[in-house]
Structure 1
Amino acid sequence: MPPFTGAQLIAQTLLSLQIPIVFGIVGIPIIEVAEALVAAGIRFVGFRNEQAASYAASAYGYLTGRPGVLLVVGGPGVVHALAGVHGAQQNHFPLLLLSGSAPSTHLPTRGSFQTLSATAFLAPHTKLALRAPTPAHLPQVIREAYRSAFWGRPGAAAVEINGDYVTHALTSTELHPLLHENGALAVHPVPSPPQPSGSRERVRALAHLLMHTSQRPLIVVGKGAAYSRCEDVLNHFISRTQIPFLPTPMGKGLLPPNHPLDTSTSRSLALRKADLVVLLGARLNWILHFGAPPKLAPGVTVAKIDISAEELGRNLSIPGVSPSALGEDMSIVGDCGAVLVQLIEELDLAGWTPPPQATNPWINDLCLASSRSIAKLAPKLTTPTPAGKKLTYHRMFHLLQKAFADLSIGDNDNVGEGTHWADNCVIISEGANTMDISRTIFPSSLPRQRLDAGTDATMGVGLGYAIAAWCAYNLPLSKGVEETPLLGAPKRKKI
């Protein structure tokens, strides 16, 4: 057998984990790793800056449901990549960072090339940060970090790779325990994470609220629901219960646009008047005004469905909300889709049917508010900009939407007859005004085709996210709408 280096061992490990693509920037000491990846048939997407690469890898993880992999040099490479690592941890996107490092024999005080203890540096910002004690431990360490990134609540994981490990030629004694009898690397793919069901008692308690107590329920659909891929059961649940819903920007597309129960155009009223708010994979953070009055009604019951137990009680103890209405007893730890199945089962067992829409005052009030909002919005979109006046966001986005539609219609190879342009592209928006205004103008027809600045409100993610979307879906069109800070006008990027 020819010499088997640490770089080849890393590449074969990623290949065994069924990783098809790696993002990053090559440099000492991980040049050989990138070369080994390409030789093994893994696609390497190179960038000019680690920050953009880290954004791409994190978004790729969200879009595919498997950790995006990022390869960077040590020292400043790790520091630059921290932006995407932090964003992945805040957004709970699965990401695996592989970083170079100084030789294992060098003391930290030696002044080695791009020296930095990446493990110590990244530990506070990741779910798990590891360094292999020997080159032979690289497969075990990489697999463990990869699994950690998307099992449980997704996030970032990191592996620090010493420079001498990359070029180290493994001896037969080191290599033998790592191989199957047929000579293949003994690294098994990581299966999909378990999808845990919720506590039966808590599911029944929430179902009872929905059936017998709440007069004005509201389902808030977050990006956690999109990540869990629960769109089919969610559509069935909304059809079964006839409960109004509010998608967060990245929760759009799980349910059809222009759905009669979508409260996007009556958002303020829906949040302010709801007596029961069920957060489905959504957090009670700044995006939902922390759940505090007057945005939400005093005494509103807030119940959460989330994969993370730590999330259930956050921001529920707020002034103006009585302890009996916090909903912690109805909040459920579990996979969004699995819990929705349980709720449907409880409703079916009880033989419950929702009140008719036509006689439901809650739905009628929301529909009226939505009609008023749409009527108020229409002239902002369609009225031409007077001479000498600045183009508004509403008018610009309306024109962009028309341009996107024209581009799609003119490309017969990419868009089928009767297909909406939004079915064939990912919309990426960033900038406060852009995200706020565009969410009601640009439709999202399918799940996981909308990305934005996210939980951490990170500006500058647009290009990295667009490349990630193109790699994840191989879409003919990938469009981003961003704010130009100096001009205050949106601009379009097409990849």
Structure 2
Amino acid sequence: MSLSSALMAVHNQNSESKDSESQVDGNLLVALAFARAGIDCMFGVVGIPVTSLANRAVALGIRFIAFHNEQSAGYAASAYGYLTGRPGVLLTVSGPGCVHGLAGLSNAAANTWPMIMISGSCDQKDFGRGDFQELDQIAAVKPFSKFSAKATDISQIPNHVFDVVDHSVSGRPGGCYLDIPTDILHQTVSESEASRLLSAAESSRAQLATEKAFPSLESEIRKAVSLLRSAERPLIVCGKGAAFARAENALKNLVDTTGIPFLPTPMGKGLLPDTHELAATAARSLAIGRCDVVLVVGARLNWLLHFGEPPRWSKDVKFILIDVSKEEIELPKPHLSLVGDARHVLELISKEIKDDPLCFGKSHTWVEAISKKTKENVSKMELQLAKDVVPFNFMTPMRIIRDAILAQGSPAPILVSEGANTMDVGRAVLVQTEPRTRLDAGTWGTMGVGLGYCIAAAVASPGRLVVAVEGDSGFGFSAMEVETLVRYQLPVVVIVFNNGGVYGGDRRNPEEITGPYKDDPAPTSFVPGAAYHTLIEAFGGKGYLVGTPEELKSSLAESFSARKPTVINVTIDPYAGAESGRMQHKN
């Protein structure tokens, strides 16, 4: 949209006078700059001083998804960045709005997803005097932002907008922040000056390429292939960084060509189907405990991978790390590092192997060992899943949900999962067959992401079914956003595993129930039998209460077919599952 047509659209919307039509205020200039930078969607909560900014953006064709809470909106913006490869944008009011938005910004930082948070702030002349919602927001965002900027004059807006967009996706992606004081939003320039500022900012835009500025890897690629050739028990670990890089085809080619088993991290699931014959997910302990050379693609050796250290890993294992960040890749001191875009590096490895094929056949002792252990563990799990346990444990409803999701075929639904036991059991049971179809608590183990992620997934992939499987505690963080689902009529089915509390009901030993408040509910307990399904019904959505296999199957069939905002409240035995899921040792 040209500047003149944009101005016409905005002024027609606001019925402003002819004299003001030649003026562009800070709100419109921000919206114009983001539109020029390719931003097509924003998430947030409007209010003083950014309501006009949101309206200007909508008038320019940028979709604005309005939330009840900046926290959920921020989680949506972070996930949108991951799913689309373009920065998700969060708009907040000043002060407390900015603080609430830090949840999403920090989540983007931890997961290395591209995101931008824009916050209004108080008038510059009143800063330090106790102005309305005053906060040093640049200082507040510093721990969670890879780049921050504050516009102190309207002329700076276009450059700052392009800077935050470019920095969010350059190198290792992450969250960026843009601060725009109230007086700058109200400041004006002429239409011709606005056009000049936008053109100048575009022409001088920093060339922060996301996958072109990497050094030559010729020598390192040869070394990597040599290590894989000499390995007796090689393994490929793939993470969500590989998913973000759209490396699935390059990964499939390498795995199918070499016959090397692969292990995805939780959000790396689906890069190759979980049903692939070389998938080592069900033999995870064996795979990481005995492998001798590991090619790690777009994943970090953090707590999710036991830091790459004994006793989970062999003390002699050699790691080959592929990552876009030189600093991050050198932190664990790998045997070999390959700094670059995951897809590009995998293609180079396959090219190096092509003329001298490397292939571990199905009869190779290592591949056989992985395959045997996978079949054993899958068989054990299927025996548990085959039982219809009522009142429900976690396994019975998870099997029914898995089968209903698989029956949808392709495109596969996007799965959102959070909770302790719910998420842990779901990782093992719910099968991912396509890339970027699993969103969960992620690197930071963030709870409360569920509804924000659902909304982001539905907006990023229009028409695709989104299914959330969450514990009642995780659902409670953002449950009010079911109204947002209904308001925008998003095809999201939220399945709540309701076991009456955090990890379950009251699990205290008798000796722990003492003191002046011994008659209070346990810190882990919620209201028994909470009717979560009625919450969405209050806004016009569909709710189901289920407690038997037949009821769950029926509700899934109806809701998946309707593709309307739905909450399915699944009653779970309050004593099913374990405290803290699989992380009891940390509680």
Q: Report the TM-score, using the length of structure 2 for normalisation.
A: 0.75
Residues 179 and 255 (structure 1), Cα distance of their counterparts in 2 relative to 1, 3 Å cut: closer
Deviation (angstroms), 1:275: 0.6
Q: In structure 2, do the counterparts of structure 1 residues 36 and 190 end up closer, same or farther at CA, with 3 Å as the change threshold?
A: farther
From 353, 359, 364, give the equivalent of 1:354. Answer: 359
Work out whether 1:5 is the aligned partner of 2:25.
yes
How far the C-alpha of 1:256 sits from its partner, in A, is: 2.4
Aligned to 1:18: 38
Amino acid in structure 2 at the alignment position of 1:21: C
Quick check: 1:240 aligned with 2:244?
A: no
State the Cα deviation string for residues 338-391 of structure 1 (Å, max 9, x = none).
Answer: 111111122124x13324322x000011111011101110121111115xxx42
Query: Counterparts of 1:298 and 1:447 in 2: how far apart (Å)?
Result: 32
The aligned amino acid for 1:362 is W
In structure 2, the partner of 1:307 is: 324
Q: What amino acid is the match of 2:389?
A: T
Q: Which residue of 2 aligns with 1:210?
A: 228
2:402: which partner in 1?
A: 401
Cα pair distance change 1:385/1:175, threshold 3 Å: closer
Q: Any gaps of 5 or more consecutive residues in structure 2? A: 1-20, 474-499, 505-529, 534-564, 568-587
Secondary structure of the residue aligned to 1:74 is coil
Measure the CA separation in 1 of the matches of 2:318 and 2:292.
6
Note if contact 2:166-2:206 (Cα within 8 Å) is conserved in structure 1. no
Paired amino acid for 2:440: D
Q: Which residue identity lines up with residue 435 of structure 1 in the other structure?
A: M
1:420-435 alignment runs, 5 A limit: 420=410, 423-435=411-423
Please tell me the residue identity of whatever aligns with 2:274: P
Question: Following TM superposition, by how much is the alpha carbon of 1:107 offset from its aligned partner in structure 2, in angstroms?
Answer: 3.0
Distance in 1 (CA, whole Å) between partners of 2:205 and 2:465 is 35
Q: Matches of residues 90-109 of structure 1 in structure 2 within 5 Å? A: 90-108=110-128
**1:24–1:71 CA contact under 8 A, matched in 2:** yes
Partner secondary structure for residue 177 of structure 2: strand
Indicate whether 1:374 and 2:378 are aligned: yes
Distance in 1 (CA, whole Å) between partners of 2:296 and 2:202 is 43
1:444–1:205 CA distance, 2 compared to 1 (3 A):
same
Preserved contact between residue 51 and residue 81 of structure 1 (Cα < 8 Å)? yes
> Hey, what's the Cα distance between the residues in 1 that align with 2:462 and 2:376?
39
Q: Displacement, 1:180?
A: 5.2
- The equivalent residue for 1:345 is 351
CA-CA distance at 1:440 after TM superposition: 2.5
Structure 1 residue aligned with 2:283, among 266, 269, 277?
266
What pairs up with 1:193-342 in 2 under 5 angstroms? 193-195=210-212, 196=214, 199-211=217-229, 213-316=230-333, 326-327=334-335, 330-342=336-348
The answer as to 2:202 corresponding to 1:161 is no
Aligned to 2:59: 39
Percent identity among equivalent residues? 38
Tell me the equivalent position of 1:385: 389
Amino acid at match of 1:97: M
1:67 aligns with 2:87: yes
Q: 1:477 maps to which residue?
A: 465
**Preserved CA contact (<8 Å) 1:25 1:73:** yes
Cα root mean square deviation, aligned: 2.4
Give the counterpart of 2:442 among 429, 441, 454.
Answer: 454
Q: In the alignment, what sits opposite 1:127?
A: 146
Against the structure 1 CA distance between its residues 482 and 190, is the aligned structure 2 distance closer, same or farther, given a 3 Å change threshold? Answer: farther
How many residues are paired up? Answer: 462
Pairwise CA distance, 1:74? 0.8
Displacement of 1:154 after TM fit?
0.3
Question: Whole-Å Cα distance in 2 between the matches of residues 442 and 198 of structure 1?
Answer: 40
Q: TM-score, normalised by structure 1?
A: 0.88
Displacement, 1:494? 4.4
Q: Displacement of 1:404 after TM fit?
A: 4.1
Report how far residue 171 of structure 1 moved: 4.1
Give 3-state SS (helix, strand or coil) of 2:120's partner.
strand
Which residue in the other structure is 2:541 paired with?
none
Q: How far apart, CA to CA, are the structure 1 residues paired with 2:204 and 2:94?
A: 26
The residue identity in structure 1 corresponding to 2:100 is H
Deviation digits for residues 12-46 of structure 1, max 9, x if unmatched?
11111121111001101111101111111111100
Deviates more, 1:395-404 or 1:282-291: 395-404
- Kept after mapping to 2: 8 A contact 1:197/1:338: no
- Residue 424 of structure 1: SS of its match in structure 2? coil
**Deviations 1:318-350, CA, capped at 9 Å, x for gaps:** xxxxxxxx41xx21111111111111122124x
Q: Could you tell me which residue of structure 2 aligns to residue 467 of structure 1?
A: 455
Quick one: which amino acid aligns to residue 220 of structure 2?
A: R
In the alignment, the residues of structure 2 paired with residue 248 and residue 273 of structure 1 have an alpha-carbon distance, to the nearest angstrom, of 18
- Corresponding residue of 2:137: 118
| Residues 395/34 of structure 1: CA separation in 2 closer, same or farther (3 Å cut) | same
- In the aligned structure 2, how far is the partner of 1:427 from the partner of 1:158? 29
- Verify the 8 A CA contact 1:22 1:69 in the aligned structure 2: yes
Displacement after TM superposition at 1:198 (Å): 5.3
Aligned match of 1:141: 160
Q: Deviations over 1:382-431 (max 9, x none)?
A: 11115xxx42212120122234457x4xxxxxxxxxx35xx331101112
Q: Aligned-pair distance for 1:449?
A: 1.0
Amino acid across the alignment from 2:398: F
Contact 1:281 1:305 in 2 (8 A): yes
Amino acid at match of 1:375: S
Superposition map of 1:166-181 within 5 A = 166-171=185-190, 174-175=193-194, 177-178=196-197
Cα 1:215–1:185 change in 2 (3 A) is: closer
CA distance in 2, matches of 1:300, 1:104: 56
Instruction: Give the aligned partner of residue 99 of structure 2.
Output: 79
For residue 104 of structure 1, what is the amino acid of its counterpart? Answer: Q
Structure with greater contact order relative to length (CA < 8 Å, sep ≥ 6):
1
